[in-house]
Amino acid sequence: MSANLTESLEPPKVGATLQNLRQAQGLSLDELSRRAGVSKSMLSQIERNQANPTVAVVWRLANALRVELSELLSGERPAAPAIETVAAHATPSLASPDGLCTLRILGPIDLAGQFEWYELTVQPGGALESAAHEPGSREHLSVLGGELEVSAGGLKQQLRSGETARYAVDGPHAIRNRSAAPATALLVVLHP
């Protein structure tokens, strides 16, 4: 059998196309699972090309995403929309174990590990303590409201609303709210 014939007998890998379509529409795996009637674990396996969906599953996914079946099966990356919008409820967030710090992940997943940005909310008494990032990493913290204290490289700096701190994070570092009011900030992480 020739290589070309063998390649054409493989089922299409729809994982990347499915993930791109889902993310372009601002849908979480949970939301797409609910709309399509396909389990979240199956969706995750399809997106990671660990499972090939049946025709019935592809049909349900295409309907849930409001695209043609052929677009999902083509394996081609759909053109990015001119303006991509992520709904507030679809913006993932992380909370510290004590619940006093919340990070809303504003950057796209494909830039993680290179360039990341977050909306940080720190309640009074809260601290976002971090271990060292890779050598050459830096953070940029811009306080939007309230006051925050940055500790990095053995130094501490108090920041008020409107101020920005830029600092190396290749050692332990922390952001604390020592005031009596909540504080919000934009946090940008640059990896080398």
Are residues 56 and 111 located together in one domain of the fold?
A: no
Are residues 68 and 111 located together in one domain of the fold?
A: no
**CATH for 142:** 2.60.120.10
**Exposure letters 55-71 (e unless 16+ CB within 10 A, then b):** eebbebbbebbebeeee
User: How much is the pLDDT for 154?
Assistant: 94
Specify the range with the lowest mean pLDDT, choosing from 3-7, 100-104, 129-133, 145-149: 3-7
Is 50 a member of any domain? yes
Mean pLDDT over 27-37 rounds to: 89
- DSSP letter, residue 104: E
**Half-sphere exposure for 91 (CA within 13 Å, toward CB):** 14
pLDDT over 90 at 160, yes or no: yes
pTM of the predicted model as reported, rounded to 2 decimal places = 0.59
Are residues 109 and 159 located together in one domain of the fold?
A: yes
Is 86 a member of any domain? no
Are residues 63 and 96 located together in one domain of the fold?
A: no
Q: How many domains does the chain have?
A: 2
Are residues 52 and 101 located together in one domain of the fold?
A: no
Are residues 95 and 147 located together in one domain of the fold?
A: yes
- DSSP letter, residue 133: -
In this prediction, residue 181 has a pLDDT band, given cuts at 50, 70 and 90, of: very high
Query: Residue 25 has which token pair?
Result: 């529409």
Is 84 a member of any domain? no
Are residues 185 and 132 located together in one domain of the fold?
A: yes
Is 135 a member of any domain? yes
Are residues 51 and 99 located together in one domain of the fold?
A: no
Please choose, from the candidates 160, 169, 164, the residue with its C-alpha nearest in 3D space to the C-alpha of residue 139: 169
Are residues 66 and 150 located together in one domain of the fold?
A: no
Are residues 66 and 125 located together in one domain of the fold?
A: no
pLDDT over 60 at 8, yes or no: no
Name the helix (H) or strand (E) containing 43: helix 40-47
User: How much is the pLDDT for 162?
Assistant: 97
Is 83 a member of any domain? no
Are residues 97 and 185 located together in one domain of the fold?
A: yes
pLDDT over 90 at 17, yes or no: no
Are residues 7 and 62 located together in one domain of the fold?
A: yes
**CATH for 58:** 1.10.260.40
User: How much is the pLDDT for 1?
Assistant: 47
Q: Where are the beta strands (DSSP E) in the chain?
A: 93-95, 101-105, 115-122, 127-130, 138-145, 148-152, 155-159, 164-168, 173-176, 183-190
Task: Examine the fold and report which residue of 73, 107, 122 is the final residue of a domain before the chain moves on.
Answer: 73
In this prediction, residue 47 has a pLDDT band, given cuts at 50, 70 and 90, of: confident
Amino acid of residue 161: S
Q: Which residue range(s) make up the domain with 140? A: 91-190
